[in-house]
A and B are shown apart, each in its own frame.
Chain A
């Protein structure tokens, strides 16, 4: 990392010296311009290898009829044209209908989860803004869900949500008597609630962390001036804190949205391969669609559609929020 910062300076002198040298090799200008690119090359190739090539292969797969008869030799799989896409978006047929259902569940789930994560994270960060005894400890404690490995954390939730011996039913039913009989959390309609709880539990510390960092940048004088002018706490939050967090929130909400929408680990560990309908998130749905039918072409087509949707949402979101912020600043 550090070497790339120093290099442009040294690169200049090396180029000059070489040009003055007796042997005529590569002209100095090219060498000067070339070196940074040369040094970037490994990173570029890695990026191609790790991100772009698999994406391109995935896109190519979506145009093929890649069933169990061809997975051993992809090259031999016949081209399917747009068939895979047509099948995925034919909402009158069972496959498309199931995909649409899963998409809507995912949208609802993502909105709820991101909203709650942001709300809880921001509220906690604001509460933690003033110094008090034990603040450091609480901050550390709040970050624990974010620091835990996903699998270990979610499997613990699975145990807690169990029907017969789970902690959740023990508290809600046995001790508090809120429900008149133990509920099922991992199957049936309640699974949506279970998924949401785990997702928010796992996601809000990130919002907390980012908002907390953003709060450090708001000058204390603003609050002092507002207090002198007679602004109460709510007004301070509404008029100073939230507007100042605009840029931070813009990125935070986008990142939370993308992570939640694409989350595979949480539903997979929580429900296994076949998620209940009420919590049929799109990532697991695509996984299951590929592996149920062993038709990886259709699975890829669904993934490409998901990619396009997320690109669209991200583009529109950034365009709208950036314009909004520019307008409010002007």
Chain B
């Protein structure tokens, strides 16, 4: 008798608890607060050779921040393959971190969701003012005319990394400056099981970074001036074709690269299987894979004319990481303090050195540590010949759609099927059809 009643009471309690927990979860779309001023959650992107490397780099700095402010930062390093999805999930559910790293190319897309704290004059004031940052980096923080959705944290640019010994063995005196030279040198280097260049053929984002630049060099853009997708214009098609042709026609990329998506091309270069690599700020990564600093050289990415510049002389996207604050954080003031800390001159120097990136903060960039020849190439590219990613709301959809199309074209090239202007155009047309019909 008693046990029956107990069971009944138990059942009712459990039902109530379940119902209550169901109602309790979910929507928290209201603005942020300062309800828990002692803790912050931080999602960091994977900048070093591995997630573990990043934890080792970041933890001492977070400890410093705790000593200064008493705020404990719980960091989670999120791999690139998951980061965008995690951010989307956090946006949808309202259950996210307080502070997070975003790829700077996503700025406008994420800005459109309204989940990130806009950096208006007042917020910038709290971290020392907008004019502390380099202009080119600020150009990739959101749509034009709107308050930035994030502040620049690390700046990166693409460069041509080449293996000095392999170049010497093939009798090549200096790195190629034009694509014609590149292909010519590439043919000399691609023999005996070694190849001239490595690419991540199955990694949509990586493909996009190259496609945008190749298209620019042919005078093409993937978006019209008013932000509409325009993937099939002559410049874009010619650019994508030239990129894929490095494998299909010029045969300076090993066909196996078509299925690379886990940075195998970086290890191939570090192991001396390939002689060249087009990568962003790769020095630290290469060193951690056992390549000594004097065994590889760094040169600007080739352009048609041989001299990088603006317009068709563009040879990199403005790559980088931005630091954003979730609007519904329950420690907004703490989050701003953390952003101020991470973008301070001292921290910028430490972090950008560890990741071999360039500080987007003027005060730190002037430091002699960033005046080495390697950093010089990157700095110069960022200053004179880098183009910002399209700052439109559909940017991240564009990365997936066109990136996937190029993956398919590489698969065709690897299988020995012809890659023609028509086939490139058809693939891009299909990608464009997937874009939101805004």
Contact = CB atoms under 8 A, between A and B. Distances in A.
B4 A276 contact: no
Given A72-B92, A295-B436, A184 B411 contact: yes
B4 A35 contact: yes
B408 A276 contact: yes
A164 interface: yes
B113 A46 contact: no
Interface string A270-292: 00111011000000000011011
B22 A187 contact: no
Dominant secondary structure at the A interface: helix
A189 B255 CA distance: 15
Given A187-B414, A273-B204, A45 B400 contact: no
Given A11-B4, A45-B19, A71 B91 contact: yes
B88 A294 contact: yes
Contacts of B401: 292
A57 to B, nearest CB: 10
A69 B112 contact: yes
Interface stretch (A36-44, A235-243, A250-258, A306-314): A36-44
B430 interface: yes
A14 interface: yes
A73 interface: yes
Interface in A58-75: 67-69, 71-75
B415 A188 contact: yes
B435 A72 contact: no
Given A49-B18, A95-B434, A164-B256, A3 B7 contact: yes
A212 interface: no
Given A11-B4, A187-B407, A72 B259 contact: no
Nearest to A183: B415
Contacts of B113: 68-69, 71-72
A94 B415 contact: no
Interface string A74-98: 1100000000000000000111001
Nearest to B411: A187
A73 B1 CA distance: 50
- Is the interface on chain A under 10, 10 to 19, 20 to 34, or 35 or more residues? 35 or more
A94 B393 contact: no
Interface string A10-27: 110010010000000000
B115 interface: yes
A244 interface: no
Nearest to B273: A164
A10 B2 CA distance: 11
A293 B436 contact: yes
A295 B414 CA distance: 33
Interface of A: 3, 7, 10-11, 14, 17, 35, 38-39, 41-42, 45-46, 49, 53, 67-69, 71-75, 93-95, 98, 162-164, 184, 186-189, 272-274, 276-277, 288-289, 291-295
25 contacts: A14-B4, A35-B4, A35-B8, A38-B8, A39-B11, A41-B11, A42-B14, A42-B18, A45-B15, A45-B22, A68-B109, A69-B393, A95-B433, A98-B434, A163-B256, A163-B258, A164-B254, A184-B259, A186-B259, A187-B202, A274-B407, A288-B400, A289-B434, A291-B88, A292-B434
